[in-house]
Amino acid sequence: MSKEELISVANAMVAPGKGILAADESTGTIAKRLGSIDVPNTEDNRRDYRELLFRTAGIGDHISGVILFDETIRQTAADGMPLVKLLQDAGVIPGIKVDKGAKALPGAEGETVTEGLDGLRERLAEYYEIGARFAKWRATISITDDIPSTYALNANAHALARYAALCQEASIVPIVEPEVLMDGSHTAQRCQDVTEATLNALYDALAEQRVMLEGTILKPNMVVSGADCVDQAGVQEVAERTIECFKRTVPAAVPGICFLSGGQTEVEATEHLNAMNKIGGFPWELSFSYGRALQASTLKAWAGDAGNVDAAQKVFAHRSRMNGLARSGDYDASQEAA
Ligand code: 5MM
C-alpha cells in the first residue's frame, strides 16, 4: 500500500459521523463480559455475540471500523460466512489487536510495558492477507503519588513506535493507544499532567522511528478525574482539559483522535465527546473507539438468548447513532429516549 492508501484508510476510520467499535476483548476479558450476563465463555458464544454486533442493520452508518481479536478475525458466522466478510460487505473496515498484553516492567514496581513485538512483522503480513487494514496496540499507564516513571513512559512509547513503524511497512494503519488508567483517587489536573507527559513521550518516539503521522490514529483516554476522586470534574471541564492537553501534544498531521471509554458509562462517554466537538477549533477529527461504552447495554439486552438478538441489535444501533451525533456536537440527552 502506498503512503496515499495508508492516509486514505486513516481518514476513512474517522469519517464524519462515524467511529470505531473496539470488539477486541481477549479471551480473559470477554469471559468477564459474558460472565456478567451468566453466559459461558465458549467459542460459539463469543462468535454468536460478535456476529450479533456485526449483523446489525446499518452498522456502517456510524461505525467505520471494528477492532477484532485474533480468534474473531479467523471465525465464521453460524452460516459459514467469514466474520471479516460480514464487516466488509457492510462497508466496515476490519482491524486487529496485535499486542500481547501489558506485562510487569522489570525494576518498576506497579508499572507495565506492553509486549508483542517478536514475530510482529510476520503476523501483520498474515493479518493483511485475512483483510485487516488497521491494527491496535494498547499501553497502560497507572497513576499513584509515585508513578508513572519516565522509564515506564519511555519504554511504552518506544514499543508503540516500533509497532507503528512495522504496521506502516505492512500497509496497515496503526492505532496507537496509550491509556492512562482511571483507577485511583487522583484529580483531573493530575490526569492532565500525566496524559501530557505520556503523549509527549509517544510523539517523540514516533518521530524518532520515522512513523508517518498522517497514516496513524491516536486512541487515548480523555482527561478525567480518577474513579475514586472525591471531587469529580464535570462534562465541560473534562472537555476543556482534554482539548487543552491534546492541543499541546498531538501534531496537527494526525488525522484523528478516537477516544477509549476506560470505564465511563455509555452516556458519560457520549456526553464528553459531544462537549468536545461542540467546542471545536482543533486540527484533528475527534471520534470514538469505545469498547464497554458501545457494548454494555447491548450485552445486557442480548443476555445470551437467541430470541433477544433483534432487540439487542436495536440497542447497539441506537448507541452507535448517539455517538455518531456526538461526532459533530449534535447529541443531547433527549435523543436517548427516541
Ligand atoms: C475491548 O477491550 C480491549 C481489549 O482489552 P483486553 O486486551 O484487556 O482484552 C481494550 O484494549 C479496548 O480497546 C480499550 O481499552 C477501549 O475499551 P473501553 O472499554 O475502555 O472503551
Whether the predicted pLDDT of 189 surpasses 80: yes
Whether the predicted pLDDT of 198 surpasses 70: yes
The cell for 166 is 512495522
Q: Which of 143, 112, 104 is nearest to 228 (CA)?
A: 143
Ligand 1 contact, 99 CB (< 6 A): no
Domain-wise residue ranges, the chain: 3-337
Backbone φ, ψ for residue 151 (5° rounding): -55, -50
Q: Which of 135, 115, 114, 137 is nearest to 125 (CA)?
A: 135
- The active-site residue, picked from 219, 266, 271, 285, is 219
- Shortest-distance Cα residue to atom 3 of ligand 1: 25
Ligand 1 atom with minimal separation from the 28 CA: 9
Q: How far is the CA of 35 from the centre of ligand 1 (A)?
A: 16
Supply angle C-alpha 93, 85, 70, rounded to 5. Answer: 75
Ligand 1 contact, 269 CB (< 6 A): no
Asked if 58 and 64 touch (Cβ cutoff 8 Å), the reply is no
Rounded to an integer, what distance in angstroms lies between the CA atom of residue 326 and that of residue 338? 15
Ligand 1 atom with minimal separation from the 294 CA: 21
Whether the predicted pLDDT of 324 surpasses 80: yes
- pLDDT tens track for 229-246: 999 999 999 999 999 999
Active-site residue flag, 219: yes
Q: What is the mean pLDDT of residues 266-295?
A: 98
Nearby residues of 210 by Cβ (< 8 Å), 6 or more positions away: 165
From the CB of residue 54, how many other CB atoms can be counted at a distance below 10 Å?
27
The cell for 171 is 500497509
Ligand 1 contact, 98 CB (< 6 A): no
Residue with cell 477486541: 24
Asked if 16 and 327 touch (Cβ cutoff 8 Å), the reply is yes
Supply angle C-alpha 263, 274, 337, rounded to 5. Answer: 85
Tell whether omega for the bond before 178 is within 30 degrees of 0, i.e. cis: no
Rounded to an integer, what distance in angstroms lies between the CA atom of residue 136 and that of residue 45? 24
Q: How far is the CA of 264 from the centre of ligand 1 (A)?
A: 12
Q: How confident is the model at residue 280 (pLDDT cuts 50, 70, 90)?
A: very high
Active-site residue flag, 177: yes
- pLDDT tens track for 100-123: 999 999 999 999 999 999 999 999
Supply angle C-alpha 257, 294, 66, rounded to 5. Answer: 60
Whether the predicted pLDDT of 1 surpasses 80: no
Burial class from Cβ neighbours inside 10 Å (0-12, 13-18, 19+) for residue 128 reads: middle
Does domain 3-337 fall under CATH 3.20.20.70? My reply is: yes
Amino acid at 103: K
- pLDDT tens track for 72-100: 999 999 999 999 999 999 999 999 999 99
Q: Which of 99, 78, 73 is nearest to 88 (CA)?
A: 73
Q: What is the mean pLDDT of residues 200-218?
A: 99
First CA to last CA distance, the chain: 42
Q: How far is the CA of 4 from the centre of ligand 1 (A)?
A: 29
Ligand 1 contact, 292 CB (< 6 A): yes
Rounded to an integer, what distance in angstroms lies between the CA atom of residue 256 and that of residue 253? 9
Q: How far is the CA of 261 from the centre of ligand 1 (A)?
A: 9
Tell me what pLDDT residue 2 has.
84
Ligand 1 contact, 261 CB (< 6 A): yes
